[in-house]
Amino acid sequence: MVEKRRNEGLVPLSLLPAVQHETGLDPLEHEIQQAIRSSRLRVQTRLGRKYIADADLDAFYAEHMAQVIDHAPNLVTLRVYSGRPDPMWALSAHQIEHLATLINTLTPLMPVPPMEEGGLGYQGFLVGRITTTNLSEPVIAAHGRVWQGQGRETRAYADPALRVERWLLDTGHAVLGTTLFLTIEAALIGKEE
């Protein structure tokens, strides 16, 4: 990685250990999230528009998502697109512990209902590469339910208030941008029981 200029709003790599201490973020994760924010600001300025066209960021995502996928633990995927990569971001260790706490407050479902698959548009969140022993992976939050684990170890929970989905959406706001964030927020409002 190269040293980033302050006028881009990025943190110099020499300061990243201090950033990790203050934010709880892994230095690579922080650098990638800052780069995403910086790229969005540059695209907005260049286009002179309030919102960014998703197509303008495809090249950026292709370049930087490989780093996220290869190195980031606690990886969240917003399952929303068909035919292009879904947005991804990493949770800090503190955030993954908060997710475990949220899930522990939910009501277990017995028997475990099947996961709903397919369709177009919003399909929920997938959390993988979990680094805590408090959660089994993967964690899938979709349509007012949360599944945790695989095979016979799968557990399911009712989340009629969509607390886990809303929280995961909030953690990805910087990566998703305003337009996609509001679109998913509207989809969640429409799915509340």
143-163 tens-digit pLDDT: 999 999 998 889 999 999 999
CA torsion, points 112, 118, 124, 128, in degrees to nearest 10? 70
Domain ranges of the chain: 1-71, 73-193
pTM over 0.85: no
d(CA 80, CA 122): 4
Match 């929303």 to its residue by tokens: 80
CA angle 34, 38, 40 (to 5 degrees): 120
Residue type, 189: I
What is residue 161's predicted lDDT score, i.e. its pLDDT? 95
55-69: pLDDT as tens digits: 445 555 555 555 555
Residue type, 155: R
Low-confidence stretches of the chain (pLDDT beneath 50): 1-20, 41-56
Cis peptide before 138 (omega within 30 of 0): yes
